[in-house]
Chain A
Amino acid sequence: MSTDRTNRPEQPNASATNRTAPDAVDASAFVNAVDNRGDTKVALAGSGLAPGKPRKVSPVSRLISHPWFGLVIVALAVALPFIDSRAYTIRISTDALIFVMLAVGLNIVVGYCGLLDLGYAAFFAIGAYTSGVLTTTFGWPVIATIPCVVVAAVIGGLLIGGPTLRLRSDYLAIVTLGFGEIVRITANNLEFTGGPNGVFGIPDFGDFGLRADIATYWIVTVVVALAVLASARLGRGRLGRAWRFVREDEDAAEAMGIHTYKVKFAAYVTGAIFGGLAGVLFAVHQTAISPPSFNFLYSALILMAVVLGGMGSTPGVVVGAVIIALLPELLRGVENWRYFVFGVLLIVLMIFRPQGIWPHRVGETPAKVRRKPMREDDVEVVP
């Protein structure tokens, strides 16, 4: 098998065969053409028909896929207090950013690795409570609680992931659903978590001579921007590729030498850490936390942000999270109908855009491969 048996003058024939191949009879002629002329030539002739060719890129998608686009968004987020510094705006924006971090974290578990986690708010709660109890009961500064939060989130991840990740994901969904409820109910019943009243009077990071809520907003912006960047980079690295392989076909991934259990574990624990850290931001922002904040509905909303935005796509998930977080606020005008309209909008969106608002582009190849037009001499023939 080599490509050198093809010679130039035959190209018109090959493409003619290809063009006149509308039905089954001519399809066999196509097979013959492949055999007579060499598959390279015919494949070249047919490459115009083949999917996966570089598509026409609209100006909008060229703009949003530009490497600086993310930077512009971060700059806008940082500049927000100068544009609109009302307490309400700052408050809902901070909420939305924390929600973005949660969605990006869950995206690692669900989007990248395909593990259905229905109790993600548990890690959010673990982070918020660890930070909240350490700062109020023991008087630690918030920054100092972060290592403890990471440890607590990892322990939570090990506890749930350890036994369940050996199973297929349906079981994981059930166990995580239970875990989410257990964490919430435990927080509701324990003495040191404040029972149903929760923890209050959680200090912030400090105001640095600024208005307190704006200082917190900026810190949250920086942390969330770093989290988004980290998750995007994780998704592109070696581990990220392994996650995708496991998601696409666990058995085939295993046959190719991927330690599937370890890889799934890495996704689950990474997601747990993201959730825990988002919990710290939440505790600081709210100054008071209580069990009902971490109910099943909240886990479902985070999952919804991931699915709505486009599973596995970092920019998509960010957009999805912003929509889920801000839409109920923007719909305040319709008062009692707010959640009804919210639900209907989500259904409509899912009908017309089932792959998500900004789906992960399948068929991503290294840029240098895609940009090059296909030519015969691309293939090195090893004699």
Chain B
Amino acid sequence: MSFVLEVRDLVVNYGKVEALRGLSLTVGDGETVSLLGNNGAGKSTTVDAISGVVRVTSGTITAFGKDVTNAKPWDLVEMGIIHVPEGRRIFSRLTVHENLQIGGYAVTDSSAINQRIKQVYSLLPRLAERRAQQGGTLSGGEQQMLAIGRAMVAGPKLLMLDEPSMGLAPLMVAQIMDVVRDIREQGTSVLLIEQNARSALRVATRGYVIDSGVVTIEASAEQLRSDPRVVEAYLGK
């Protein structure tokens, strides 16, 4: 399997604090890889480092065969690596439709943008109903869907979702995960950061458990679901 993303021995420091201490992971073409771990394990730091938001101290990040260590966020977007940040970060004073248009900012072909916006509306009909509404008036789950929809308009080859289930009702989480599955079925590779291991492992093909900035377990989603360490720490008995 060819790798879409390959992270090798990644070290990231926040001042004197070592957030990542030699983390390595790969995302294969068409895979949905889940990154599990507790608060402070380094999940978000990993995606932030990949998307160029935080600086990498050492280690390499390779995407689509190119070295993208410490590349700028806009260059990564151009390559098709789209990051849906933690906490959704939608534009609350702009309408749903405008929010989706932002996703296409880096795309110069406007007919492609409109085509993708249409696709997003059919994938997420609730957004279509609310397209003239301000983003801030949506519910938390709808906002998350908007954030994902916005990323889809950018035409991702690799989509990185940072805790899409955060603060959502279980029903909503299930819907979001359905969307993630739909996205994977369209052939997009997904890197899914989650604390909610149960629902993440339901859609993921493979997973990593990270703790204190290093990978402690790497296995297929099926194996992780039955791994006693994962069951005890994240799934409950």
Q: Which residues of A does B touch, CB under 8 Å?
A: 1-3, 31, 35, 39-40, 43-44, 47, 50-53, 238, 241-242, 244-245, 248-249, 251-259, 362-366, 369-370, 374, 378-382
Chain B positions within 8 Å of A51 at CB level:
133-134, 137
Q: In the complex, which residues of chain B have a beta carbon less than 8 angstroms from the beta carbon of A252?
A: 85, 89-91
Minimum C-beta distance from B225 to chain A (A): 25
11 contacts between A and B (CB under 8 A): A40-B125, A47-B129, A52-B95, A248-B92, A251-B85, A255-B85, A257-B77, A257-B78, A363-B94, A369-B97, A379-B128
* Contacting residue for B129 out of A44, A364, A366, A381, CB 8 A: A44
> Is the Cβ of B89 less than 8 Å from the Cβ of A363?
no
Contact across chains for B118 and A53 when beta carbons are under 8 A apart: no
B170-191 Cβ-contact flags toward A at 8 Å (1 or 0): 0100000011001000000000
B124 and chain A: residue at smallest CB distance? A1
B90 CB to closest chain A CB (Å) equals 7
Supposing A50-B137, A257-B78 touch, asked if A362 and B125 sit within 8 A by C-beta, the answer is no
CB pair A251 B129 closer than 8 Å: no
Pair B131/A369 contact, Cβ less than 8 Å = yes
A245 x B74 contact (CB < 8 A): no
Contact call A365/B132, Cβ cutoff below 8 A: yes
Nearest CB in chain B to that of A245: its residue: B102
The smallest C-beta distance from A136 to any residue of chain B, in angstroms, reads 46
Residue interface bits B98-134, CB-to-A below 8 A is 1, else 0: 1001110110000000000011011111101111111
- Structural contact, B128 and A259, CB atoms closer than 8 A: no
Chain A proximity of B188: nearest CB distance (Å):
15
Residues of A within 8 A of B121 (CB): 379-380
Residues on A with beta carbons closer than 8 Å to the beta carbon of B22:
none
Inter-subunit contact B91/A248 (CB<8 Å):
yes
Decide yes or no: A255 and B73 within 8 Å by CB, A365-B97, A369-B132 being known contacts.
Answer: yes
User: Is there a chain A Cβ closer than 8 Å to B198's Cβ?
Assistant: no
CA distance A366 to B84 in the complex (A): 25
Residue numbers in A under 8 Å from B89 (CB-CB) = 249, 251-252, 255
Partner of B132, one of A44, A256, A259, A363: A363
Specify which chain B residues have a CB less than 8 angstroms from the CB of A363 in the assembled complex: 94-95, 132-134
A16: shortest Cβ distance to chain B, in Å? 19
Taking CB atoms, residues of chain B closer than 8 Å to A3 are 125
User: Which residues of B are found within 8 Å of A39, using beta-carbon distances?
Assistant: 125-126, 129
CB neighbours of A257 from chain B (8 A): 73-74, 77-78, 105-106, 154
A369–B130 CA distance with the chains assembled, in angstroms? 11
B15-38 vs A, Cβ < 8 Å mask (1 yes, 0 no): 000000000000000000000000
Contacts of B95 in A (CB 8 A): 52, 363-365
Q: In the complex, A370→B91 CA distance in Å? A: 19
For residue A278, give the distance in angstroms from its CB to the closest CB of chain B.
30
Q: Are B137 and A52 interface neighbours, CB within 8 A?
A: yes
Residues of B within 8 A of A31 (CB): 169, 171
Measured CB to CB, the closest approach of chain B to A74, in angstroms, equals 30
Which of these, A53, A254, A365, contacts B98 with CB under 8 Å?
Answer: A365
Residue contact A255 to B51, C-beta cutoff 8 Å: yes
Closest to A360 in B: B93
CB of A373, distance to nearest CB on chain B (Å):
11
A366 to chain B, nearest CB (A): 8
B150 CB–A CB distance under 8 Å: yes
Q: How far is the CA of A151 from the CA of B179 in the complex (A)?
A: 52
B119 touches A245 (CB 8 A): no
Residue B157 lies at the interface, judged by CB distance under 8 Å to chain A: no
What 0/1 pattern do residues 150 to 170 of B give for CB contact below 8 A with A?
100010000000000000010
Please, which residues of chain B bring their CB within 8 A of the CB of A259? 72, 74
Cβ-defined contact, A43 with B101, below 8 A:
no
A53 touches B132 (CB 8 A): yes
Contacts of B128 in A (CB 8 A): 40, 378-379
Name the A residues within 8 Å of B43 (CB-CB).
none
- CB-defined contacts of B182 to chain A, threshold 8 Å: 1
Contacts of A255 in B (CB 8 A): 51, 53, 73, 77, 82-85, 89
B133 and A50: CB pair below 8 A? yes
Complex CA–CA separation, A363 to B95 (angstroms): 5
Query: From A46, which residue of chain B is reached at the shortest CB distance?
Result: B129
CB distance from A10 to the nearest CB of B (A): 16
Q: A50-B137, A245-B91, A257-B105 are in contact. Are A370 and B74 (CB under 8 A)?
A: no
Q: Tell me whether B131 and A365 are in contact (CB under 8 A).
A: yes
Please state if B102 and A254 are interface contacts (CB–CB under 8 Å).
no
**Given contacts A50-B137, A245-B105, A257-B74, could you give 12 more A-B pairs where the C-beta distance is less than 8 Å?**
A1-B124, A3-B125, A43-B129, A52-B130, A248-B94, A255-B53, A255-B77, A255-B84, A258-B106, A362-B134, A363-B133, A379-B125
Report the minimal beta-carbon distance from A50 to chain B, rounded to whole angstroms.
6
Residues of chain A lying within 8 A (CB to CB) of residue B119: 382
User: Is the Cβ of A256 less than 8 Å from the Cβ of B105?
Assistant: yes
By a CB distance below 8 angstroms, the chain A residues around B74 are: 254, 257-259
Contact present for B101 and A241 (CB under 8 Å): yes
Residue pair B133, A241 in contact (C-beta under 8 Å): no
A2 CA to B121 CA, complexed, in Å: 10
Give Cα A378–Cα B91 distance, bound, in whole angstroms: 24
In the bound assembly, the distance between CA atoms of A43 and B72 in angstroms comes to 40
Known: A248-B93, A257-B154. A50 touches B130 (CB 8 A): yes
Task: Knowing A2-B125, A245-B91 are in contact, say whether A256-B150 is a contact too (CB < 8 A).
Answer: yes
Which residues of A lie under 8 Å from residue B105 when comparing CB positions?
Answer: 238, 241-242, 245, 256-258
- Considering only residues 61-87 of chain B, those with a C-beta below 8 Å from chain A are 72-74, 77-78, 82-85
